[in-house]
């Protein structure tokens, strides 16, 4: 199987004692349920 940089074994790092993250933005991407619409209009 083809090897990539992602394949390199990563040393096991102890995880931090506390992990927390929160981001915020305008809620403009919301809207759908049954369907995925990409963020940007796409062309071939």
Q: 5-43: string of b/e by CB count within 10 Å (b at 16+)?
A: eeeeeeeeeeeeeeeeeeeeeeeeeeeeeeeeeeeeeee
Q: Is position 44 an interface residue for another protein (rule: CB under 8 A)?
A: yes
Find the binding residues for another protein in span 19-38 (CB under 8 A).
19-38
Minimum distance from residue 28 beta carbon to another protein (Å) = 6
Q: Is position 11 an interface residue for another protein (rule: CB under 8 A)?
A: no
Using CB under 8 A as the criterion, which residues of the chain lie in contact with another protein when the complex forms?
Answer: 1-2, 4-7, 13, 15-38, 41-44
């Amino acid at each position: 199987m083809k090897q990539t940089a992602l394949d390199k074994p990563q040393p096991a790092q102890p995880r931090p004692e506390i992990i927390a993250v929160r981001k915020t933005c305008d809620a403009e991407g919301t809207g759908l349920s049954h369907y995925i619409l990409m963020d940007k209009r796409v062309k071939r």
